[in-house]
Structure 1
Amino acid sequence: MKVVIAPDSFKGSLTAREAAVAIVRGVKSAVPLAETSLIPMADGGEGTLQTLVDATGGSTTHVQVKGPLGNQIDAKYGILGDNQTCIIEMASASGLVLVPDGKLNPLVTTTFGTGELIKHALDKGYRKFILAIGGSATNDGGAGMLQALGLRLLDEKGNEVGFGGGCLKDIDCIDLHAFDERIKESSFLIASDVENPLIGPNGASYIFGPQKGASQKDVAFLDDQLTHWADKIEKKIGIKIHDNPGAGAAGGIGGAFQAFFPSKMERGVDVVIHHTQLQEKLADADLVITGEGQVDSQTASGKTPMGVAQTAQYLGVPTIVMAGSVGEGIEVLYEYGVVSVHSIVNRPMNLETAIKQASMLLESSTEQVVRSYFHHHVPKLQGGLV
């Protein structure tokens, strides 16, 4: 009997690998002789870099770059096991996790550090890139990233404009003369499940601005800034990104890639599924267990449990989803091969306790779920189910 274990991280408590190990312990407690295959997952957000590096036997490189608030930080990028593909995780250089409590402000946060990571990798000779752009703290339309790569954004007086989504309307001229020529020689796969346009009520500012610290007043202001930025891009290079699906990803950096890079977008979880060879490892499985911190209606939009379930359903393998918490709208998951969804919180407790005990709770809940699931599938033998 083979159980494939393919969870995402339980944010704030467990990495994807730690979650997978806890699930294995639960499976083994219920079915001691079960064969288990661990495949830590991600969906294009934080953790994608390490998942792909681990899955392919790659390596990481550390670089000093500007963080989202302009201060110097230690960031990293990965090289996959083919020694040709560079994986850059935007969260490492421009992520929400890098901004202290009370300092979130998309009017000033910049993607400059993400551009510095790309430049460093170009300097090392890499020309094939995967960009995991989830978890950003920015709303600057990718302007900072482009500046780090030599693009000059000038105001009416010919001075370089400042950083952040609040400075985009200062742009009077886009100067491409020093923009890194090596970008034309490269390929960029953008791992993102976001299909929002750049501007408007479903755009980057209105949908994602509040989680990055924007007030309702800020949201409208930021949307105007991005509109001006898109207008300037269209006037300069003839590419209209205002309403492009995916242009609003990561505070508009998706639009920057569409306009200035030889790039294509792909659902983040599908990129990870490909590089972890999940489909091949599911071929002879009896069950797959996946999960993440919060499972709700948004999970079906391309989060890890959905991607795993779709892959498993294609092969006729049932999926069980474990979650830190279960919200509304999970019913749609049942259409994609999910047998059941379970919260690991098994008694009244506050969030702090749940986070601290997450590993134990995940192990215990998995054991009970697996015991129940396999009760009618295999006989009981001395020492447990097999």
Structure 2
Amino acid sequence: MLCVMSKEMREQDETTDAVRVVAIPDSFKGSASAIEVAEAMADGAREAYADRGVAVSVHTLPFADGGEGTLDALLGAWGTKALTVDTTDALGRPTRARYGVSADGRTGVVEAAEANGLPGVADVPLQARTASSRGVGPLVSALLDQGVEEILLCIGGSASTDGGTGMLSALGVRFLDSEGSELPDGGGELTNLASLDLSGLDQRARSVRWRIACDVTNPLVGERGAAAVFGPQKGASPEDVRVLDAGLARLADVLAEATGQDLREVEGMGAAGGIPVTMSALLGAELVPGSRMVAEVLDADRLLGEADLVLTGEGRFDSQSLGGKVVDAVRRLTPEHVPVVVIAGSVSVTAEELRRSGVTAAFSIARGPRTLEEIREETLPEITSTAYQCCRLLTHPALPSTVQPVPGTH
């Protein structure tokens, strides 16, 4: 599950006294994938150390926080290609969606938004009551066909508020009204839910380990619930919010009757329109912070623990970056004595925020006044150039071979 290194990088690793650099960025959304950014950073680092005649071992580890880009980050680290399957979008229209499997075949990853995401239905008016997670089911079935032992489910960016009932329906669960008829798709129908029929559930779904990347703490229902907080982003009117919230409450009632677990107030159950509540109640899914899940899968803590320098970054480095996103995860996983340098499209943290964060330094790739489109066109070369300049500075003969920060900071 570790990153796949080039022949050059493997040879460099054999030099035990080489400086160890880890390039572990997020994507620059809309401009470059995490894989491309990591390689651009690595190119700049190699060139800088070569200029100084210093042996270097560079590990590229494209990272993500469990949201958009996680699939690509894991595929890049595993060295495997995306697989595709026919499915439906959040409105039931035919589409194709991607999923991934680790090199050893044991772990699968699904980005739910590949099937039920807002971008997939951006061409029509949003339909909050009828939008469904059903399209995620075929992705899961494809992974079960592959024989994986664990499924990593990344649920951000969903267009649905159906409590995951569409996804579970695709896996064989029947959600029934008082007359025993199966409910139509969508969270707007859940107020009519009376019972569950689990007899048709694909039993393979019970045998795998489920981990759901979840970085929100919202409960299922109420003022901080899935419908109230996230429903308006999915086109829900105030009346839609009321109906959807009532439907999710009814779903919680029925799940509690069937399993003995009342999960409506549990933190995180309101993520992605409530997908975690059915997955947790019926399949024993574990909710974990997305960045922590990705770090574990990629063995990031070990690689960062062995580093002499860490390069990370994202499109915009601001105060929100320090609250659980990739840069925050990287700095927390990196030993205090190891420099952590952020390279970003734009940097808006204050000196005090940077000082408190534990990040050693942050640099923008933008050179002078430029439009966003101009920056996007030159993103990768500018990342390489900025990484080169950082590493040139850190390898200056007048400086120690590694930067020694003030105790208690990076």
- TM-score bin (small chain): 0.7 to 0.9
Please name the residue that 2:399 is paired with: 377
Tell me the equivalent position of 2:365: 344
Q: Note closer, same or farther for the CA distance 1:347–1:99 as it changes in structure 2 (3 Å cut).
A: farther
Higher alpha-carbon deviation: 360-369 or 42-51: 360-369
State the partner residue of 1:25: 43
Q: 1:6: which partner in 2? A: 24
Task: Decide whether aligned partners of structure 1 residues 22 and 317 sit closer, same or farther in structure 2, where only a CA change above 3 A counts.
Answer: same
1: CA distance, partners of 2:345 / 2:239: 33
1:276 aligns with 2:306: no
The one-letter amino acid paired with 2:359 is V
Q: Note the residue ranges of structure 2 that are not aligned, 5 or more in a row.
A: 1-18, 402-410
1:136 aligned to 158, 170, 176, which one? Answer: 158
Q: TM-score, normalised by structure 1?
A: 0.87
Unaligned runs of 5+ in 1: 380-386
TM-fit CA distance, 1:70? 0.9
Following superposition, the deviation at residue 194 of structure 1 comes to: 2.5
Of the three residues 227, 236, 253, the one matched with 1:205 is 227
Q: Which position in structure 2 is the counterpart of 1:323? A: 344
Which is further off, 188-197 or 364-373? 364-373
- Contact between 2:35 and 2:76, CA under 8 Å: does it hold in 1? no
Verify the 8 A CA contact 2:255 2:278 in the aligned structure 1: no
1:384 match:
none
Aligned-residue CA RMSD (Å): 2.8
TM-score normalised according to structure 2 size: 0.82
Give the Cα–Cα distance (whole angstroms) in 1 for the partners of residues 261 and 335 of structure 2. 39
Q: Secondary structure at the match of 1:245?
A: coil
Distance 1:255 1:341, change over 3 A: farther
1:74 aligned onto 2:96: yes
CA distance in structure 2 between the partners assigned to 1:62 and 1:300 by the alignment: 34
- Counterparts of 2:185 and 2:351, CA distance in 1: 40
Which residue in the other structure is 1:227 paired with?
249
Q: Map Cα deviations across residues 238-283 of structure 1 (whole Å, 9 max, x no partner).
A: 2211111121222211112111112212222222222222233234
Farther-moved stretch of structure 1 (10-19 vs 162-171): 162-171
- Residue 180 to residue 334, structure 1, CA distance change in 2 (3 Å): farther
1:160 to 179, 182, 192: 182
Q: 1:290 to 1:94 in 2, by over 3 A?
A: same
Q: How many residues align?
A: 378
- In 2, distance between residues paired with 1:273 and 1:5? 14
Contact 2:221/2:265, CA 8 A, preserved across alignment: yes
Cα distance in 2 for residues equivalent to 1:4 and 1:186: 32
Sequence identity (%): 39
Q: Report if aligned partners of 1:139, 1:222 keep a CA contact under 8 Å in 2.
A: yes
The answer for the alignment partner of 2:376 in structure 1 is 355
Residues 18-56 of structure 1: per-residue CA shift (max 9 Å, x gap): 111222333345443554221111121222223223323
Aligned to 2:329: 307
Pair 1:186-2:186 in alignment: no
